[in-house]
Chains A and B, each alone.
Chain A
């Protein structure tokens, strides 16, 4: 069976957060016209509260590299890059360099100033090309016009890890979960991908005894859920953050998110650059103009240039809907 069929059979989806079917992306790059093609493994892991890529690179680097090599062969790619988070580079560089000897894979260390946006796939392309690090206008998508305009396959660390497993017939429908926050056993866990949030917290002995809420899929852009909504699985990047209600006032939580996004906005488009600044302004006032707040959030999801701007409303809106239903309006 060829690799594409194996990937299809394993039903692999991208583990960067968007959950895009892997086989579909691979075929798109394969079918794209281009003299040169590139492969990039996204190991920037800029989302707070997600640490699984670092964990995988530390414990199973050969598998990730194997997955990348399979992609290189599949596409007859010119070259591949491992776009590596600076902290991971410091920690894992020696080992990775050894493993990458005599391969077409080069480590590209994520620039320190790249920030959160530097992990967005087209911003990452800009970083490698040495131009201003910010998302590109899409379409065209990297699959047809990526690095230096060539078709480029971009997958997450965990995705390449899974490809390697699927190629060897070892994929067991597991995924990696990062659990952080107000809980005793913070860490990365490899567990079946169909567990509910509740089960995950219980199995890892992290289920709180106090009143709490969780944020899943990233501590910045993830969705907030109350403790009665945990009978579902996680989509997006596999992470759960536990927040104690006693420790986290409503203002503190939202303010943290807004500050984070304000600092990380690249400044390209109006709704994100200006909108988040004004959200902060509105939210800092004693009397909050909820209607304006709401329209600024809607404007972000409707008109942002990239997915990061579009994700700003996710934590705030879900928090207002799920966690503080009574204070909202």
Chain B
């Protein structure tokens, strides 16, 4: 299949995904090979010298079309309400090969829908039995929460806690729970595994004229959303995202990059405080909600290692409903904050009651990149023709350090930039002003920490700053966490992103997402960083302004900046 693709021959496929082992179970990519009996699946057949392959013979057409028709009859079409309608692989194949989509009677009407918290769901009525979700959860993420039950036509994807015929074995097995990363959704070819959609709630909120409806969008969606509209991966579309959100009716649009700068500063201060005072080390990043869920469920003993800093979307939303609300003289209860995230676990994070500020949740709704693209298409907004608009102020400005939050290693790099600043200037807080003598030293401080960049599974480094040595590691994808958890004593600071390559590979991102596509999205984020006027979080004066405002608010500071975690069963 790869050989065909490289030579400009498109072969259809459903179960094939470059992130996952080849399974060759959909049998849609069949080709005829001279001298071989039957047909071969192109995804699983290696090319050989002199091999003669025919991709469009009558025999191939017949088999391919019949298999697509058989698969179609497994998938109950929910087209009118499906966010996939505009992007559906099945409909695309049906159209391309002129398939009769109703040749067979739908057979999965009675299947269950499994919902995982408010984040992800697997709808058995749409499943085509390709098993990509099981592999995404298993071989990619090593969570193994999904399994196949039954055989033949009765096979079904179920969460492991669903009672099975072997309950006596289940009881002995370790408990497993979903971390809501959404990689199952990202690898599902037909939207059977997908985010629990909330766009319709957002639509309703937009009609409510008594509320100020505010959108805030994550660092990583600006470099991926273009793909939904036919652009190459890695096109930077920040201004178009703002314009589209305004067109959709949002009163204000803020950039979560602002929140990321806040997070960086809070986290860097905490890291240095822990290093100086001999606090619990290594410190873990906490901006990935799937990783936080992982710790709370699988390793609650490590909860003290998680930074107490809230995540960027919560920081920024918290400031919207306090700092900005006060400025604008709007009652916080009249503000609705909608986050546009690359992530399904952010939906779960937003609902955590411990995040409430004065009884209010900072974020009201979270929609994914895919949901936003759907809203834009649904409202017939021509995304590519939109004129770029800057995000609203004062919560719009950000540093380059914030942009790279969407990349694996990016959160750590941002924190290190600010940590080095704090160390060289011998300060505990970013809000303090720098004395003349220390200003000079800053000339030598670094911006780029390249050891933590790139697509490898685990990235380690020893960083020396102002005489202090920090042993750091960035874990790229939760599937790589096991070896690190075995040698925690070797590190002072660890970043973990549950999704491969970080948020740009998040469970809410455009489909397809592959390693090659992720690479381009990563490059785009580093490009934004490199081109930014300011590249360190603490140089974001508006963010410093917000922090100073919080300093004067007593208890509110803790409510907006910090959080607590709890053991989950």
Chain B's nearest CB lies how many Å from the CB of A269?
Answer: 5
Q: Is B429 on the interface with A (CB-CB < 8 A)? A: no
A301–B66 Cα distance when bound, in Å, is 13
Q: Which residue of B lies closest to A268 (CB)?
A: B25
Q: Which residue of B lies closest to A263 (CB)?
A: B152
Residues of chain A from 285 to 312 with CB closer than 8 A to chain B in the complex: 295-296, 298-299, 301-305, 310
Chain A's nearest CB lies how many Å from the CB of B64?
Answer: 8
| B27 and A303 contacting across the interface, CB-CB below 8 Å | yes
| B63 and A302 contacting across the interface, CB-CB below 8 Å | yes
| B73 and A274 contacting across the interface, CB-CB below 8 Å | yes
A96–B180 Cα distance when bound, in Å, is 51
**A277-B107, A277-B153, A295-B66 given; A270·B38 CB < 8 A:** no
| A132 and B148 contacting across the interface, CB-CB below 8 Å | yes
**Complex contacts, B30 vs chain A, CB 8 Å:** 302-303
Q: Is B28 on the interface with A (CB-CB < 8 A)? A: yes
Q: Is B67 on the interface with A (CB-CB < 8 A)? A: yes
Q: Which residue of B lies closest to A301 (CB)?
A: B38
Q: Is B2 on the interface with A (CB-CB < 8 A)? A: no
Partner of A269, one of B25, B62, B104, B165: B25
A57–B39 Cα distance when bound, in Å, is 38
**Complex contacts, B152 vs chain A, CB 8 Å:** 262-267, 273, 277
**Complex contacts, B44 vs chain A, CB 8 Å:** 137
Chain B's nearest CB lies how many Å from the CB of A15?
Answer: 23
| A270 and B25 contacting across the interface, CB-CB below 8 Å | yes
**Complex contacts, B22 vs chain A, CB 8 Å:** 137
Partner of A271, one of B23, B67, B74, B155: B67
A305–B67 Cα distance when bound, in Å, is 13
| A274 and B74 contacting across the interface, CB-CB below 8 Å | yes
Q: Is A25 on the interface with B (CB-CB < 8 A)? A: no
| B62 and A265 contacting across the interface, CB-CB below 8 Å | no
**Complex contacts, A266 vs chain B, CB 8 Å:** 151-152
Q: Is A278 on the interface with B (CB-CB < 8 A)? A: yes
**A267-B153, A274-B71, A278-B104 given; A137·B38 CB < 8 A:** no
Q: Which residue of B lies closest to A139 (CB)?
A: B46
**Complex contacts, B228 vs chain A, CB 8 Å:** none
**Complex contacts, A269 vs chain B, CB 8 Å:** 24-27
Chain A's nearest CB lies how many Å from the CB of B406?
Answer: 36
**Complex contacts, B59 vs chain A, CB 8 Å:** 302
A137–B131 Cα distance when bound, in Å, is 14
| B24 and A270 contacting across the interface, CB-CB below 8 Å | no
Q: Is A67 on the interface with B (CB-CB < 8 A)? A: no
Q: Is A275 on the interface with B (CB-CB < 8 A)? A: yes
| B38 and A310 contacting across the interface, CB-CB below 8 Å | yes
**Complex contacts, B129 vs chain A, CB 8 Å:** 267, 270, 273
**Complex contacts, B148 vs chain A, CB 8 Å:** 132
Q: Which residue of B lies closest to A261 (CB)?
A: B152
Q: How many residues does chain B have at the interface if contact means C-beta atoms less than 8 Å apart? A: 33
Chain B's nearest CB lies how many Å from the CB of A134?
Answer: 8
Chain A's nearest CB lies how many Å from the CB of B107?
Answer: 7
**Complex contacts, B165 vs chain A, CB 8 Å:** 113
**Complex contacts, A274 vs chain B, CB 8 Å:** 70-71, 73-74, 104, 153
Partner of B71, one of A262, A270, A295, A296: A270
**A267-B151, A302-B38 given; A296·B27 CB < 8 A:** no
**Complex contacts, A302 vs chain B, CB 8 Å:** 30, 38-39, 59, 63
Q: Which residue of A lies closest to B73 (CB)?
A: A274
**Complex contacts, B41 vs chain A, CB 8 Å:** 303
A79–B478 Cα distance when bound, in Å, is 36
| A299 and B153 contacting across the interface, CB-CB below 8 Å | no
Q: Which residue of A lies closest to B64 (CB)?
A: A303
Chain A's nearest CB lies how many Å from the CB of B38?
Answer: 5
Chain A's nearest CB lies how many Å from the CB of B61?
Answer: 11
| A305 and B70 contacting across the interface, CB-CB below 8 Å | no
A18–B70 Cα distance when bound, in Å, is 30
A298–B65 Cα distance when bound, in Å, is 13
Residues of chain A from 136 to 161 with CB closer than 8 A to chain B in the complex: 137
**Complex contacts, A113 vs chain B, CB 8 Å:** 165
A268–B152 Cα distance when bound, in Å, is 7
Q: Write the B252-278 contact mask toward A (1 if CB under 8 angstroms, else 0).
A: 000000000000000000000000000
**Complex contacts, B38 vs chain A, CB 8 Å:** 301-303, 310
Chain B's nearest CB lies how many Å from the CB of A322?
Answer: 21
Residues of chain B from 105 to 160 with CB closer than 8 A to chain A in the complex: 105, 107, 129, 148, 150-155
**A265-B151, A275-B70, A295-B66 given; A305·B104 CB < 8 A:** no
Chain A's nearest CB lies how many Å from the CB of B73?
Answer: 7
**A305-B24, A305-B27 given; A270·B39 CB < 8 A:** no
| A270 and B155 contacting across the interface, CB-CB below 8 Å | no
A262–B165 Cα distance when bound, in Å, is 21
| A270 and B70 contacting across the interface, CB-CB below 8 Å | yes
Chain A's nearest CB lies how many Å from the CB of B209?
Answer: 51
Q: Which residue of A lies closest to B44 (CB)?
A: A137
Q: Write the B544-557 contact mask toward A (1 if CB under 8 angstroms, else 0).
A: 00000000000000
Partner of A296, one of B66, B73, B154, B155: B66
Q: Which residue of A lies closest to B59 (CB)?
A: A302
New A-B contacts (9) at CB < 8 Å, excluding given A271-B27, A301-B38: A137-B22, A137-B24, A266-B151, A270-B27, A274-B74, A281-B104, A303-B30, A303-B63, A305-B24
Give 8 closest A-B pairs by Cβ, nearest first: A274-B70, A267-B155, A265-B152, A303-B27, A267-B152, A302-B39, A270-B67, A302-B38
Q: Report which B residues bind A (CB closer than 8 A).
A: 22-28, 30, 38-39, 41, 44, 59, 62-63, 66-67, 70-71, 73-74, 104-105, 107, 129, 148, 150-155, 165
28 contacting pairs across A/B (C-beta < 8 A): A137-B22, A137-B23, A137-B44, A262-B153, A265-B152, A265-B153, A266-B151, A267-B129, A267-B151, A267-B154, A268-B25, A269-B24, A269-B27, A270-B25, A270-B26, A271-B27, A271-B63, A271-B67, A273-B129, A274-B74, A277-B153, A281-B105, A296-B66, A299-B67, A302-B63, A305-B25, A305-B27, A310-B38
Q: Report which A residues bind B (CB closer than 8 A).
A: 113, 115, 132, 134, 137, 262-271, 273-275, 277-278, 281, 295-296, 298-299, 301-305, 310
